[in-house]
Amino acid sequence: MAKHINVSIIGKPNVGKSTIFNKLIGSNISKVSEKSGTTVYPILFTNKFKDLSINLIDLGGLKKKSKSHENKQQLITSETIKQLNYSDLVFFVMDGSDEVTKNDKQLFRLILNKLKNVIIIINKTDLIKKDLKRKENYFKFFFDKNYPNILLKPIFISALKTIKKEFLLKKIFDIHSNSNKIFNNQIVNKVLKTIIEKHQPVYSKNSRPNIKFLRHVNSKPMIFKAFGNKLTYLNREYKNYFVKQLLSNLNIHNQIVIIKYINNKNPFKKN
Ligand SMILES: Nc1nc2c(ncn2[C@@H]2O[C@H](COP(=O)(O)OP(=O)(O)OP(=O)(O)O)[C@@H](O)[C@H]2O)c(=O)[nH]1
Ligand SMILES: [Mg+2]
């Protein structure tokens, strides 16, 4: 397994990306300022955790599509997309004193569409001390509700006061260690049984879809194949339920998952 991981720090302008970058590497390499639009070109630094080289990349703040036409902003956008393609993991940073904006949603979609693993960082918790519990629920609920294919537990930090450096580096290390893992058929199908026992697919047009066999076929990106009968009748609601259950039963966090449903009576037959 490669002994390095590329981690890019992505988010809106001024949410504290460069502050986090500097704290994680223990040096003030990247310029920080209260004005937004400070970082333009990507800044890279390699940090070691155990035997893993972590290539951290600090990026400029991204604006909404409709506001990203200026030259500087275009440069930031193209550099971000370039770095994103090489990334194994993204730190998606948001400002905890803010609500989730349209810009956050567009950005997050971009990351998920590239099938990247992601850690959600909610920064500036020192500004929301009194409101922390409500904010924790707010962000947790937002990611739970809107993104069925990934389990995300936002991590709350104050880059200025309590960065949780060891915790974050260990998190990166753990995600790297798990990234090439393939779950065996026995484990996966035991989970399948549990999920179906709890809640069976509903009837549609007089037929009940039946998922008979599940196989984990790829790790990066994470792909499962579900074999069975009448799977074209599975509705979106059930598919969302199914993938969430699969992720929580297998304890997979921060990784986006794709399930391909295949109508096939014999899972061992190549199609
Ligand atoms: N209160 C508070 N302020 C913070 C925290 N982290 C960063 N800041 C401040 O927020 C401002 C922006 O920080 P940066 O690290 O430059 O933000 P950035 O996301 O890199 O900004 P751009 O490069 O412009 O996109 C600075 O004034 C920081 O001091 C935090 O945890 N709490
Ligand atoms: Mg910056």
Read off the pLDDT of residues 196-238 as tens digits, 9 standing for 90 and up.
999 999 887 778 899 999 999 999 899 999 999 999 999 999 9
Cα(22) to centroid(ligand 2), Å: 10
Cα(62) to centroid(ligand 2), Å: 10
Cα 207 to the chain's mean position, in Å? 35
Flag whether pLDDT at 64 surpasses 90: no
pLDDT digit string (tens) for 96-115?
A: 999 999 999 999 999 999 99
Where exactly does CATH 3.30.300.20 map onto the chain? Answer: 185-263
- Report the pLDDT value the prediction gives residue 69, as an integer from 0 to 100: 67
Q: Is the peptide bond before 221 cis (omega within 30 degrees of 0)?
A: yes
Architecture of domain 4-178: 3-Layer(aba) Sandwich (3.40)
Q: Is the CB of 96 under 6 A from ligand 1?
A: no
25-30 contacts: CB < 8 A, separation 24 or more? 25/56, 26/165, 30/58
Global pTM? Answer: 0.92
pLDDT, averaged across the chain: 92
Question: For residues 152 and 155, what is the distance between their CA atoms, to the nearest angstrom?
Answer: 9
Provide the 3-class DSSP secondary structure of residue 43. Answer: strand
For ligand 1, atom 11, the nearest C-alpha belongs to 34
Residue 32, token pair as written in the block: 């920080």
Atom of ligand 1 at shortest range from CA of 123? 31
Domain 185-263: which CATH class? alpha beta
- Report the pLDDT value the prediction gives residue 250, as an integer from 0 to 100: 96
Report how far apart, in Å, the C-alpha atoms of 26 and of each of 165, 180, 240 are.
Answer: 9, 29, 41
Question: For residues 48 and 166, what is the distance between their CA atoms, to the nearest angstrom?
Answer: 12
Where exactly does CATH 3.40.50.300 map onto the chain? Answer: 4-178
| Number of helical (H) and strand (E) elements in the chain, helices listed first | 7, 9
Average pLDDT of span 52-77? 86
Report how far apart, in Å, the C-alpha atoms of 164 and of each of 23, 46, 123, 124, 159 are.
Answer: 9, 18, 11, 13, 8
pLDDT band for 261, please (50, 70, 90 cuts).
very high
Flag whether pLDDT at 68 surpasses 70: no
pLDDT band for 159, please (50, 70, 90 cuts).
very high
